[in-house]
Amino acid sequence: MAAESGKIDPMHQFEVTPLGGGFNLGGHEVLFTNSALWMVIAAITLGIFMWGGMRRKLIPGRWQVAVEGFTGFISSMMTANIGTEGRKYTPYVFSLFMFILFCNLLGMLPLGVVGVHPFTVTSHIAITGVLALISFAIVLVVGFWRHGLHFFSLFVPHGTPLPMIPIIAPIEFVSFMVRPFSLGLRLFVAMTAGHVLLKVLSGFVINGFNAETLWLGSIVSVLSFILMIGISALELLVAGIQAYVFALLTSLYINDAVNLH
Amino acid sequence: MPQIAQLTADNWYLASQLFWLLVVFAGIYVVIGRGMLPKIEATVDARDRKVADDLAAAKAAHAAADGLEETYRQQSDASRAAAQKAVADAKGKAARDAEKRLAKVDAELGDKLTAAETEIATARKSAMAEIESVAAEAASDLVAKLSGAKVVAADAKAAVKAVLHG
């Protein structure tokens, strides 16, 4: 935190800092950053979590039940939204859901108290945007692969009266093209806003105790701290919900590509 | 805002962000999505199938038990009916036998009765005859003792007969 003259910069947490290990890739220098570190941590944590559910026992233990709960949640969502064909896309949506969920939750860890700055990978539009573009690309590839040019009938909903088609089709097209942006932006904004809010409130807590009129500042600090507890709980909820929304919308978009309307 | 800055300016870390994201996400997709997830799903599917099979087996066993109970009930009903029939037959036979025996005994008794009656009648007749002769003798004796007259036996007999038979 850049605590110059008592000021705490709530945007500092989103800074990407190099940790070394640079090499050149097509004219761009690629460095191992704190962002990459937290992605790797999320991947390793996820791997350990999944590994605990790999005992494949008939009567599962607690850990296995937890892992199977996640896999069952995603695969039932896929079959509910797409049908039996949805199971083909479960690995992708499951990877997406778990990666986003773990990045969200790891970014929420209160590691600041031991001097480590957690980095919320999903608070960067470059990350969420790429994930959204991957989903969108899968929709396009699957749609044109399965339906060919017939995929364009997606822009004409069932039962549209003929004279309405010239008006409806552009609207549908725009709403279709907006999908990757709204998908990526939603997650990025939710994460960024939540973390900024938490950092602003924690700045209030610190500045309140450092205030010249200590009794007034203490009141502000205590109230802010109570508010932070509530908002942290809310942010944990948001972390789960945003991962779910991303996976759900991806599955719905894939459904459009697989089944058209 | 570092998130926006990396998109607008010619930023140093956008390339590293994208590179590491693709590396990590591809790793997650291959190892976890393609490697671990199908195994876990297979475990769940196998368990679901086992549960369904066990339930079906339990249902079949239940149905078999029901069938068994039904046949047992039918058998027990049939045997009970047979037993009742046998009892009824035996009763009827016993009743008929008893009737037959009774009739036979009855007839024998009737025969005996009639024989006895005839015997009694002959005995009575002979007894009556004896009484008549005895009475006639007694009467002639009495007459002789009282009056000294001798009564002819035939007269005494006629007199006694008249008294006895009114």
- Please report the pLDDT score of residue A20 as a whole number: 77
> With an 8 Å Cβ cutoff, are B13 and A33 in contact?
yes
Predicted pLDDT of residue B29: 93
Distance from CA of A258 to the nearest CA of B (A): 20
Answer whether A142's CB lies under 8 Å from A258's CB: yes
| CB-count exposure of residue B137 (10 Å: 0-12, 13-18, 19+) | middle
Using the beta-carbon criterion (under 8 Å), do A30 and B19 form an inter-chain contact? yes
Please, what is the end-to-end C-alpha distance for chain A in angstroms? Answer: 50
| Token output for B43 | 């475990």
**Residue of A25, A124, A134 with shortest CB distance to B19:** A25
Residue A54 is nearest to which of B25, B28, B39, comparing CB atoms?
B39
Task: Write down the pLDDT at residue A5.
Answer: 45
Q: Write the CA distances from A209 to A106, A186, A212, A220, integer angstroms.
A: 28, 35, 9, 8
CA distance to partner chain A, nearest, from residue B45 (Å): 10
Q: Cβ of B15 and A16 within 8 Å?
A: no
Judge contact between A104 and A242, C-beta under 8 A.
yes
Alpha carbon distance A97, A74 (integer Å): 8
Q: Which residues 6+ apart lie within 8 Å of A63 measured at CB?
A: A52, A53, A55
Q: Which residue has the higher pLDDT, B8 or A63?
A: A63
Unique residue bearing structure tokens 């205590």 = A222
**Residue of B16, B21, B44 lying closest to A68 (CB–CB):** B44
B49 and chain A in contact, CB less than 8 A: no
Which of chain B's residues have a Cβ under 8 Å away from the Cβ of A103?
none
Asked if the Cβ–Cβ distance from B37 to A68 is below 8 Å, we say no
Which among A11, A25, A29 is the nearest to B1, CB-wise? A11
A72:B43 CB<8 A = no
User: Residue B67: which pLDDT band, with cuts at 50, 70 and 90?
Assistant: very high
* ipTM given for this complex: 0.86
Residue of B nearest to A42 (CA): B24
Q: For residue A4, list its beta bridge partners.
A: A7
Instruction: Report the range of poorest mean pLDDT among A77-86, A208-217, B48-57, B81-90.
Output: A208-217
pLDDT given for residue A4 in this prediction: 45
Q: Do A42 and B24 lie within an 8 Å CB cutoff?
A: yes
Rounded Cα gap, residues B91 and B88, in angstroms:
5
- Per-residue confidence in pLDDT tens, chain A, 261 aa: 344 445 678 888 888 888 877 777 777 778 888 888 999 999 999 999 999 888 878 888 899 999 999 999 999 999 999 988 888 899 999 999 999 999 999 988 888 788 788 889 999 888 999 999 999 999 999 999 988 888 888 888 888 888 888 888 899 899 999 999 999 999 999 999 999 999 899 888 888 888 888 888 889 899 999 999 999 999 999 999 999 999 999 999 999 888 876
Q: Which of A231, A25, A14, A199 is nearest to A125 (CA)?
A: A14
Which of A19, A35, A97 to mutate: most B Cβ within 10 Å? A35
Residue B9: predicted pLDDT: 60
Which ranges of chain A does DSSP label H, i.e. alpha helix? 34-52, 62-81, 90-107, 125-147, 165-209, 214-259
pLDDT score, position A3:
43
Amino acid at A107: G
pLDDT at residue B166, as a whole number: 66
Flag if A124 and B41 touch (Cβ within 8 Å). no
